[in-house]
């Protein structure tokens, strides 16, 4: 186990210094003591503004304009970079005086803001599922359809005026809107044409397609400032540079946007391959060390005969590679913006694997307390992936924690609830874990308000042929009934309402107890 944890420590040490970035990135070299202005911006509006990860700085035509303004008027500026902020959050930060300008913003009629002369323009497009065969060729065809829009975007007012009878859903971010489209919670979305082209590769929107560009939905993108004396000074400074700025020459310095988008996608895929290789090595090394460890404990004929059983025990744990890919991928992405949070998440993943690989035999018993440590570690990893989309609540009796149960009983139920119930629901939901003790039995209930199951799926829930369910219900069912004829499991589910699983686990005091987990 110590070798496995050492590998993780080395990985975290290697990843952190390469990808960790400060949120505030100072990009100016003006004289010390001058006024420092905080600038918010879009991370991927190539070629006007984008973040170059290799150079660790912002680049683009808007940055070139800003540099000329800085040089002409002698003030210093720094970019504020926080990737989880939505468009409205950035505007509110500007209005609250925590930032002094925002590039590039949609021009609007908001009298609280001042907008520079346009730096760029773009048209909105109508996007839908790849398999959508409806004949939608104009904006009027979206009447009575389910349409998604990012809240606060320039197209919001246009949609209200031109598709009044559509069922419009407003989202806080592009990612939330894309998720809703993929989940068929909305059938169409309105998105900027060039932003969609960029996000198509970056967010792997391969199950979507652009139907058409809306000709009369063209919007200008500008520098934005708060409508006050300081904002007016900055506005005049920026406009004076834009008036004489050579956009054609500036744009020629940046490669064709299509090639840049594809190159970034290839870089992203390369990173994923690296993660896949690392995870596969960890997985192979962990199993190898585990088998060697069991073998070395006592090299006699009895243990040799049980070696195959131990290997099977690890297969029962079924820590699937894609789960590790997702977890390490999330850790890697956090290293770009929040090294401390990435470290916490890596610690949770390490703890999760430590508990899994410290199990001698999945048919021995552990305390409920140890099982819940595994559950909480797993949930923390999934929360980093889904954020506020999922919530897990616990209601566990104080007298339950020392009750001995089979390992990997509660955790798979929570995993199934998140993976098959909540993650496929656009708004997410809640998993309630309720555990109480009655005499010599433990009652375990895991209930979610996710998408539920059909009657057919429910009728097959305990069959081996049901695949891709992690440690499936058939596995739990067999293990429970092998353990005791008094063990009981039931599942009830209603489509669009949720699923409830109940287990009654009897006490067996004579059973062998699993050893304590090893800690470094």
Q: What is the mean pLDDT of residues 222-230?
A: 92
Class of domain 121-218: alpha beta
Segment among 219-233, 344-358, 466-480 with least mean pLDDT:
466-480
- Is residue 17 very low, low, confident or very high in pLDDT (cuts 50, 70, 90)? very low
C-alpha 409, offset from chain centre = 26
Most confident of 40-44, 307-311, 415-419, 431-435: 431-435
What confidence score (pLDDT) does residue 362 get? 45
Nearest in space to 444 (alpha carbons), one of 476, 467, 418: 476
Q: Which two tokens stand for residue 99?
A: 């930032």
- Are 346 and 492 in contact by the 8 Å Cβ rule? The answer is no
C-alpha 111, offset from chain centre = 35
**Helix or strand run (H / E) with residue 342:** helix 339-357
State how far the Cα of 452 lies from the Cα of 497, in Å rounded to an integer. Answer: 6
Q: What is the pTM of this model?
A: 0.45
- Are 11 and 278 in contact by the 8 Å Cβ rule? The answer is yes
Class of domain 21-120+221-255: alpha beta
Fold of 387-520: Heat Shock Protein 90 (3.30.565)
What confidence score (pLDDT) does residue 433 get? 95
Q: Which two tokens stand for residue 271?
A: 């990173």
In order, the DSSP letters of 295-334 are HHH--SHHHHHHHHHHHHHHHHH---HHHHHHHHHHHHHH
Contacts of 483 (CB under 8 A, 6+ apart): 363, 406, 508
For residue 104, is the peptide bond before it cis, meaning its omega torsion is within 30 degrees of 0? yes
Measure Cα distances from 327 to 321, 377, 386 in Å: 10, 12, 11
Per CATH, 21-120+221-255 and 387-520 having the same topology is answered: no
- What are the residue boundaries of the structural domains of the chain, listed by start? 1-20+262-357, 21-120+221-255, 121-218, 387-520
**In this predicted model, what pLDDT tens digit does every residue of 350-391 receive, in sequence order?**
777 776 666 544 446 888 998 898 888 888 888 877 778 889
On the question of pLDDT at 328 being above 80, the answer is: no
| Environment class of 346 (CB within 10 Å of its CB; exposed 0-12, middle 13-18, buried 19+) | buried
């Amino acid at each position: 186990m110590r070798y496995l944890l050492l590998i993780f420590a080395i990985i975290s040490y290697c990843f952190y210094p390469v990808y960790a970035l400060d949120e505030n990135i100072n990009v100016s070299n003006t004289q010390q003591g001058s006024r420092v202005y905080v600038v918010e911006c879009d991370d991927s509006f190539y070629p006007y503004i984008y973040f170059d990860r290799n150079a660790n700085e912002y680049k683009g035509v808007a940055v070139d304009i800003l540099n000329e303004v800085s040089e002409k008027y002698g003030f210093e500026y720094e970019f504020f970079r926080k990737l989880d902020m939505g468009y409205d959050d950035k505007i509110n930060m500007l209005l609250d005086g925590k930032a002094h300008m925002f590039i590039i913003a949609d021009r609007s009629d908001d009298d609280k803001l001042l907008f520079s002369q346009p730096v760029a323009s773009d048209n909105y497009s109508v996007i839908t599922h790849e398999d959508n065969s409806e004949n939608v060729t104009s904006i009027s065809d979206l009447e009575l359809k389910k349409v998604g829009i990012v809240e606060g975007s320039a197209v919001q007012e246009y949609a209200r005026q031109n598709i009044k009878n559509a069922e419009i859903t407003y989202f806080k971010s592009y990612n939330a809107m894309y998720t809703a489209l993929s989940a068929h919670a909305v059938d169409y979305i309105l998105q900027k044409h060039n932003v969609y082209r960029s996000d198509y590769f970056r967010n792997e929107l391969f199950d979507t397609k652009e139907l058409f560009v809306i000709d009369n939905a063209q919007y200008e993108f500008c520098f934005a400032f708060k409508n006050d004396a300081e904002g007016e000074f900055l506005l005049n400074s920026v406009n004076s540079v834009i008036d004489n700025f050579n956009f054609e020459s500036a744009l020629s310095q940046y490669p064709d946007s299509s090639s840049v988008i594809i190159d970034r996608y290839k870089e992203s895929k390369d990173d994923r391959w690296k993660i896949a290789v690392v995870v596969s090595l960890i997985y192979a090394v962990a199993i190898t060390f585990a088998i060697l460890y069991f073998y070395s404990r006592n090299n006699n004929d009895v243990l040799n005969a049980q070696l195959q059983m131990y290997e099977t025990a690890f297969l029962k744990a079924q820590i699937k590679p894609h789960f590790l890919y997702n977890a390490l991928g999330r850790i890697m992405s956090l290293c770009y913006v929040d090294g401390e949070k990435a470290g916490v998440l890596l610690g949770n993943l390490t703890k999760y694997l430590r508990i899994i690989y410290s199990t001698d035999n999945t048919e021995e018993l552990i305390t409920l307390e140890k099982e819940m440590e595994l559950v909480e570690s797993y949930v923390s990893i999934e929360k980093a992936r889904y954020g506020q989309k999922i919530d897990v609540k616990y209601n566990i009796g104080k007298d339950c924690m020392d009750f001995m149960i089979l390992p990997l009983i509660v955790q798979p139920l929570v995993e199934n609830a998140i993976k098959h119930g909540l993650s496929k629901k656009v708004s997410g939901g809640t998993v309630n874990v309720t555990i109480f003790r009655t005499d010599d039995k433990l009652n375990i209930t895991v209930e979610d308000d996710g998408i539920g199951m059909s009657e057919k799926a429910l009728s097959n829930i305990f069959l081996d042929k049901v695949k891709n369910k992690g440690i499936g219900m058939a596995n739990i069912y067999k293990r429970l009934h092998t353990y005791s004829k008094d063990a009981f499991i039931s599942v009830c589910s209603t489509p669009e309402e949720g699923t409830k699983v109940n287990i009654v686990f009897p006490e067996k005091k004579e059973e062998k107890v699993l050893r304590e987990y090893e800690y470094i």
